[in-house]
Copies of this chain bind each other. A is one copy, B any other.
């Protein structure tokens, strides 16, 4: 080669194959119009020299503009879904010079109809790639199928569906995270203690995510043969009626003096912490999920013992980057990407915030 950096360029290959750069280009992009003879010669040289296209130059030259669209639940400041969006923005800034734009669409996570409406908008936007939080699984699968038919790659974050039309998934192994939570909860718990499993009643039904977590949680005790060692009580709280929730919890503690721990599989364990505080009940080991909203102060003031987190910002970031790697850099993308199951305590949480 005659270039300084020692990197193989198209023109190097062209010269070695005694053809023009244009011909090499045609081979590399599979655009045909090349005789088999020259094609094979070029490919063998590409192989031998381990040619790697200079992505910098490629993206500078590329005329094509990519349009990414994300579809996430609406949120208010401090809520869970702020984090994935932050990750998406970080990715956007990083890749916007590759002629990639990222638009955002939102739906109401308690209203399937709004998801459907947003889906339509998304399809009309004619995206080159999409990132979806499939809160409504069936509707999401339907959308993904349509995208697949149009050859538009899509990634899921947070949870995935059972259809196999998506390019990639970034999220937690919900079952295993419940299993890990069980271990933390059980550690040091006295025999015969009562464990509260608290759910929030929702119009839309229990999410698949929290359900799998609960399954994993229970599996721990079953596998260890601890189902008789503790008492499990299921509690249902309203999503909005605080007064009623207070009464409900008061009743439970009246009936059960041996409650040792409680767990909540969604991101609102701080509400339970609040209730316990109001009832002046102490010494209950509380475990919840995610860094959102009131959970951080609750962990810091020790009313919550552990939080299980799932790197939501990374999910957004990596989801977008996967699409970029696929479309722009033509890389292979791993299909299932489980995020680490982060265990947060008062003592280490500071190093997870804004990391």
B-binding residues in A (CB < 8 A): 4-5, 54-57, 59-60, 65, 97-99, 173, 176-177, 179-180, 183-184, 187-189, 220, 338-348, 350-352, 355
Contacts and interface: CB of A to CB of B under 8 A. Distances in A.
A143 B348 CA distance: 32
B341 A351 contact: yes
Nearest to A351: B340
B183 A351 contact: no
A87 to B, nearest CB: 15
Contacts of A4: 65
A324 to B, nearest CB: 13
A189 B99 CA distance: 57
Contacts of A220: 347
Nearest to A93: B52
Given A54-B97, A183-B346, 15 more contacts: A4-B65, A56-B60, A56-B98, A57-B60, A173-B351, A176-B347, A176-B348, A177-B348, A183-B345, A183-B347, A187-B187, A220-B347, A340-B351, A342-B348, A343-B343
Nearest to A306: B343
Nearest to A310: B351
Contact of A355 (B54, B173, B180, B340): B340
B180 A345 contact: yes
Contacts of A57: 60
Contacts of A189: 188
B97 A56 contact: yes
Copies in the complex: 2
Contacts of A342: 340, 342-343, 348
Contacts of A59: 56
A308 to B, nearest CB: 9
Contacts of A187: 187-188
Contacts of A355: 339-340
Contacts of A344: 343
Contacts of A180: 345, 347-348
A344 B343 CA distance: 8
B347 A5 contact: no
A343 B339 contact: no
Contacts of A5: 65, 99
Nearest to A4: B65
Given A99-B5, A188-B188, A343 B348 contact: yes
Q: Which of A98, A184, A351 has the most CB of B within 10 A?
A: A351
A97 B8 CA distance: 12
Contacts of A97: 54-56
A36 to B, nearest CB: 32
A74 B23 CA distance: 47
Nearest to A172: B351
Q: Which of A65, A183, A343, A347 has the most CB of B within 10 A?
A: A347
A166 to B, nearest CB: 20
